[in-house]
Structure 1
Amino acid sequence: MTKGTPSHWVTGVSEITTQDIFIRGYAMSELVGAVPFSAITYLLIRGELPTPGQSRMMDVILSSILDYGLQKSGTLAARAVVSVNPSMTAGLSAAVLAAGQHALSPEDTGRFIATTFAAWKESGRSMDEAAAVLVQDLRAAMRRVPGFGHQVFRHVDPRAERLKSIAKAEGVWGEANEWYEAVHRAFQLASNKPDLVLNDVGMLAAIMVQMGFTPEEMCGLAILSTVPGLISHISEEMQSGIRNRLVPDSHVEYASPRRDLANDLVDAGWQ
Structure 2
Amino acid sequence: MTKSTPSHWVSAVSDITPEDIFIRGYPMQQLIGRLPFSAIAFLLIRDRIPTPGEARMMDVILSSILDYALQKSGTVAARVIVSVNPRMTAGLSAAMLGAGEYAVSPEDTGRFISDGLATWKGSGIPVEEHATGLVAELRAAKRRVPGFGHPVFRGTDPRAERLRVIAIENGVWGEANEWYAAVHRAFQAAANKPDLVMNDVGMLAGIMTQMGFTPAEMTGLALLSTFPGLVAHISEELQSGAINRIIPDDQVTYARVRRDIAADAAAVGWPLDK
- TM-score, normalised on structure 2? 0.95
The one-letter amino acid paired with 1:234 is I
Tell me by how many angstroms 1:240 deviates: 1.1
- Residue deviations 1:120-164 (CA, integer Å, cap 9, x gap): 000010111111111111111111100011111111111111100
- Residue deviations 1:248-269 (CA, integer Å, cap 9, x gap): 1111111242223333334344
Tell me by how many angstroms 1:3 deviates: 11
20-29 or 232-241: bigger deviation? 232-241
The correspondence of residues 95-174 of structure 1 with structure 2, limited to 5 A, is 95-174=95-174
Partner of 2:243: 243
Give the 3-state SS of the residue equivalent to 2:12 in structure 1. coil
The one-letter amino acid paired with 1:223 is L
Partner of 1:88: 88
Give the 3-state SS of the residue equivalent to 2:22 in structure 1. strand
Q: Distance in 2 between matches of 1:40 and 1:158?
A: 28
- Residue deviations 1:66-123 (CA, integer Å, cap 9, x gap): 0112111111111111111111111111111111111110000000000000000000
Partner of 1:54: 54
- Paired residues in the alignment total 270
Partner of 2:185: 185
Q: Distance in 1 between matches of 2:5 and 2:22?
A: 22
Q: Distance in 1 between matches of 2:3 and 2:130?
A: 52
**Structure 1: stretches of 5+ with no match in the other structure:** none
Partner of 1:260: 260
The one-letter amino acid paired with 2:143 is R
Q: Distance in 2 between matches of 1:270 and 1:161?
A: 64
Change (3 A) 1:157 1:3: farther
Q: Distance in 1 between matches of 2:3 and 2:266?
A: 75
Q: Distance in 1 between matches of 2:155 and 2:176?
A: 21
Give the 3-state SS of the residue equivalent to 2:95 in structure 1. helix
Q: Distance in 2 between matches of 1:219 and 1:184?
A: 22
Where does structure 1 differ by over 4 angstroms across 4 or more consecutive aligned residues?
2-5
The one-letter amino acid paired with 2:163 is L
Give the 3-state SS of the residue equivalent to 1:92 in structure 2. helix
56-65 or 80-89: bigger deviation? 80-89
Partner of 1:75: 75
Whether 1:223 and 2:223 are equivalent positions in the alignment is yes
The correspondence of residues 33-48 of structure 1 with structure 2, limited to 5 A, is 33-48=33-48
The correspondence of residues 195-210 of structure 1 with structure 2, limited to 5 A, is 195-210=195-210
Give RMSD over aligned pairs: 1.5
The one-letter amino acid paired with 1:210 is Q
Q: Distance in 2 between matches of 1:87 and 1:3?
A: 49
- Residue deviations 1:163-200 (CA, integer Å, cap 9, x gap): 00000000000000000000001111111111111111
Q: Distance in 2 between matches of 1:3 and 1:86?
A: 52
Q: Percent identity?
A: 70
Q: Distance in 2 between matches of 1:133 and 1:139?
A: 10
The one-letter amino acid paired with 2:248 is P
Q: Distance in 2 between matches of 1:213 and 1:241?
A: 41
Q: Distance in 2 between matches of 1:154 and 1:232?
A: 29
Tell me by how many angstroms 1:5 deviates: 4.9
- TM-score, normalised on structure 1? 0.96
**Structure 2: stretches of 5+ with no match in the other structure:** none
Tell me by how many angstroms 1:238 deviates: 1.0
